[in-house]
Amino acid sequence: MDELNPNRPIWLADDGLAVRVIDQRKLPHELEILDLTTVDRVIQAIVEMVVRGAPLIGVTGAYGVMLAAAAAGGRAELEKEAGRIKAARPTAVNLAWAVDRTLAAALECGRQPDRVAAARQEAGRIAAGEAENCRRIGSHGARLIQEASRRKEGKTVNILTHCNAGWLACVEWGTATAPIYVAHGRGLKVHVWVDETRPLNQGARLTAWELGRRGVPHTVIADNAGGHLMQHGLVDMVIVGTDRTTAAGDVANKIGTYLKALAARDNDVPFYVALPSSTFDWRISDGLRQIPIEERDPDEVRYVRGLAGESTRQVLVPPAQSPAANPAFDVTPARLVTGLITERGICRATAADIARLFPDKAGAAA
């Protein structure tokens, strides 16, 4: 049986009205839990990346609707607050999806206490659903690792991943990490190349921390090392997550993902993207033109945070006067994607094959 990942980055406090999250800005050197008790705090946590990763942003936004319902006077105010939460980060489509779903559930009730209870229940359902989706992604994706292991006669399968698409970014299991956790749990030999993922180092800080806690062999590499490793046969497959994938299979993910896909194609390394259905944007099919790419504060590029002695410190890297730019995501065209690993199975990154797996969802394009 697959080993269950008990780790969750979000849960409710006992009173049911405080949303508890791991402060991901502090990891890996400090493990701090924050209580989010107001809509403003939820929005701030999403914007400042206390919580991050597409499915987790969605679940946090859903609980934000619960807090909005607890504070809001009427329907119009609740809708306005939901709109503010949705605007906190633009690229991950899970945020709008989860907020809209929770808002609709709340608005089915006329009385305020019922709205709060309905929102709490719906947010809980979304969280449980995402955990289950990730568990299934793990089972489907592990088959790919199993096949690679068989081809290599049991030798270590080397997997490269970018950013953090682990349980910290989701609810449990993760997306890109789920197949790795399942394969590792089954005793297959795996090793993960962890892209550091500048500017905020989600790979070096978060993925390395997660994998280390689970005993999965891994090595942190500079973002630019992947192509070299692929040229030398040291990468058997790439698995990444995504923040928004079109109905035709174009994939938006953390900046730098596209370059890994190019290097993978040039070296015949399979490039997989793992995602729950909440990350598909069924209304669009042209990722380059239609996916909004978040531009973040250039100071995230200019400064680096890390452990200095006993405490963490932030240091400036380039000359103080040099301007910096910080596009947070890029789009990998579907033609560079070998396959999409979803909760319903694995498909090719084409409109037809995605629609074959999701006939109930596809076809919504305007």
Annotated active-site positions, please?
A: 243
Task: Point out which span in 64-72, 169-177, 347-355, 358-366 binds ligand MRU (CB under 6 A).
Answer: 169-177
Residues 42-61 touching ligand MRU, rule: CB under 6 A, are 52-55
Q: How far is the CB of 328 from ligand MRU (least distance, A)?
A: 6
Residues 322-341 touching ligand MRU, rule: CB under 6 A, are 328
Does 242 engage in binding with ligand MRU (CB under 6 A)?
Answer: yes
Does 90 engage in binding with ligand MRU (CB under 6 A)?
Answer: no
Q: How far is the CB of 365 from ligand MRU (least distance, A)?
A: 22
Residue 325 CA to residue 305 CA, distance in Å, equals 18
Cα separation values, 79 from 69, 76, 297, Å? 9, 5, 28
Query: What strands, in cross-sheet order, belong to the sheet with 237-240?
Result: 218-221, 190-195, 157-161, 237-240, 271-274, 339-342, 345-347
| Amino acid identity for residue 209 in this structure | W
247-266 mask for ligand MRU (x: CB under 6 A)? ------xx------------
Does 171 engage in binding with ligand MRU (CB under 6 A)?
Answer: no
The distance of Cα 211 from the centroid of its chain, to the nearest Å, equals 16
Does 165 engage in binding with ligand MRU (CB under 6 A)?
Answer: yes
Residue 198 CA to residue 138 CA, distance in Å, equals 26
Given the complex with ligand MRU, which of 45 and 72 has the nearer CB atom?
45
Does 95 engage in binding with ligand MRU (CB under 6 A)?
Answer: no
Query: 270 forms bridges with which residues in the sheet?
Result: none
| CB neighbour class for 310 (10 Å; exposed up to 12, middle 13-18, buried from 19) | exposed
Binding stretches for ligand MRU (CB under 6 A): 52-55, 92, 163, 165, 169-170, 175, 202, 241-243, 253-254, 328
